[in-house]
Structure 1
Amino acid sequence: MKVKTSLHRTATVLAGALIGLAGLTVAATPASAHASSVKGDSVCNAATGKRDITWTLTNDWGGDATVSDLALIPGVKAETAEHNELKNGVVIPRRSHHVDGKAVFTQSAEGDITDASISFTAHWDDEYSDRNNSYKLRFDGPCAPPPPTCVSPDKAKFHHEFGVENGKSTATVTLDEGIKLCEGEPVTLVSYVAPRPEFSVPQFVFDHASAVITTDKPRADLEVKVPDCNTQVDLFFGSEKDIIAEITANGPRYGDKKLGSPNGIGSRSVGKPGWFNGGSKACQQPAVATVPQCDGTLTVNLSNNGEISRYPIDFAVKTGDVTKTVTVGAGKAESITIPAGSGDVTIGAEGLETKTYQWQNPGDCALPTVVVENDCDTVAITVQNPKGVTPVTAKITYGEETKTATVASGASRKTTFTLGKEKHATVEFPGLDVESIKATLGKVDCGGEGGGGGLPVTGAAAGSIAGGAAALLAIGGGLFFLARRRKVTFTA
């Protein structure tokens, strides 16, 4: 009986001890279960070039927790999908069914930040607080913005072909494959007339063509005419408004705008150098026209007005041993007069074949007149030469006798012969391109025979003309008018 009683007492004491320990455990549990935490994560948003940061706040207690003492770096607003802003007073939901309560907030920060952090205190309704809530993110480098879908022309790449031959220049400029342009890139091909086959000034535009390269039209084909003389041709990035109309000594240049340049915007295009200098002759177009005058002078017209004439021309005009230089400006003309009797004149210029010119009777000058007078003893032939013409030489034949008479301008000269049996006289003008005159003598009263003076006769038709003109003569003579003809020489 005593043994059983001792065992019973021992069991009772142990049971009480276990119950006491269990009571201590239950009493300590509420204090250790209040807890909160926070975690952060970040990704680089390739679409915006910014960092998208996510903050996850966790509550593992059965009551809601309220946020206070919030510190958020960077200070960019963070919010949930429902646009609840992360700030002091925001609630972290309670834990339920062994699942921690969570509040998730996101913020978008500039891509160049180096770190982000958060800290706060969580409060529960039972006056318990958890101040041990913080998290920091560090970033290795900036979040770069996405590459653009197109590039500006200054960042684009091209390739080209360029050449000059057969009186023209052609060029093809192509945007490199895979490149999209945000805006069009103009390109221009232009040719010039130049004073020398190497680079020299001034130069003047001869022809030009422009086009705009775009993503939809990635290739430009250009063609211009090239002058048949000294020239320069340039292929450059730019539009028609960028063309230099006249390249002068101190004026603007295309410089590194030319495609194929080693530097500058022209270096964006790969290909042979997009420029050319050459030619085999001057771009002037000199011309000479001579007009002989009736007084023996020679008018020489010098011109410099061809399609490609852009520079002055020095004409060398030589008469005898004297050479004179006559300068004619572009688009101009000059006239000089070679005096009568100066002889041949020789004219030459750059781009013009040297040539010798002679005065020739133009054929439309006033012609000399002839008056025939005869009586019973003599035959008189008078040659009258008009004013404003060259001296004329007359070859007069009557019977077996021939005499020569030279008559100055505006003068007259009489030649006499002894009357013979011949009834006509012949007058020739070797220096004039006219037919000789056969003049029939007039009838005179020498011992009873009546008669008149000489009759006018022209060329071979002397016999038929004489009868019709007899009534018009006031004296025994006649006027002889010679045929005329004009000759003009032009050399270009």
Structure 2
Amino acid sequence: MNLLKSPLRRTSAIAAGALIGLAGVAAFAAPASAHHPVVDGVSSCVNDDGTWQVTWEVANSEYDLIGKVTDVVLTPTDSTITGIVAEASLPVAGHGTLEGVQTLPASAESASITVTAEWQREQLITSTRGAEHPVPKPTEKCHPTPNPSNSKPAPQPSTPSDEPSTPSDEPSTPSEEPSHPSPSGSASKPPAPTKEPEFVYDQDCDTLTVGITVPADWSKDIEVTFTPSTGEAKTVLGKRGETTSVEFPASKGLKVKATPKGYEDEAATVTYKQPANCDSSGGGAGDEPSLPLTGAAAGSIAAGAGVLLAAGVALFYVARRRKVKFTA
């Protein structure tokens, strides 16, 4: 009986030492998860009354799990924001972003936001991230959205009747209010377009794609010139009922200005922001990129894991000195 108990006791010590060390690595490495919101200010402009606004985008670091915003902190505190609010969902990476507009008083010199989000995997994961740099007060003026109802259709000639009109024996009595027929001869106005043209864009590690979507019921096709900060401009004709786009090679700091012909006041600028899943050379980093954990948190993890590993190794060697043997 004693010979059997002793080897088992020594074997248990070895297993416990190894288990403690491995459990320490797993437990302390768990916080190195890459879950976090990605906050980016994409544009800003000044209103006529001196107030100004910043358009923010919040992306999800995860490619397989939707996140949820739990808190948003604004700087300055007397600013407001729409779209990016608590309980809003963060789409999985590569499938869109959460967008919002922060409105600031004229006295504010810079703007920033901090977003807290959570993900539910085996356990609840929470992360807080802010903008990499505050957005300074811009000088560019905000432009109103064009109103399609202001566009006037071209006059249409009326179609003469095949039969001549027969004069009446009695003079006609004029109505109290004169009628105002439309150029087509009908008293009803043509319906206004249900949507307005809008610029669209997409980006990956290698290209920035920009374009324009023209509603099918818009009055005409729209010619747009896309002018990059580096390289040659490209001009496209946006067809009604279609999305027309062009691509530019991605580079750091690339900006593309979109100028629609006939609507020059509605020009917009798109700034390229390299996606989080790109490596340093600009290429993709795979479908499931991971982000290293650095700083004080990484040091604490390494220290804690090291202590538990050391304890496991010590138990291993103590047991080994006893020359463990199995006895039948």
Normalized against structure 2, the TM-score is what? 0.33
Higher CA-based Rg: 1
Per chain length, whose mean CA-contact separation is higher, i.e. which structure has more relative contact order (CA < 8 Å, sep 6+)?
A: 2
The structure that is helix-richer by fraction is: 2
The structure that is strand-richer by fraction is: 1
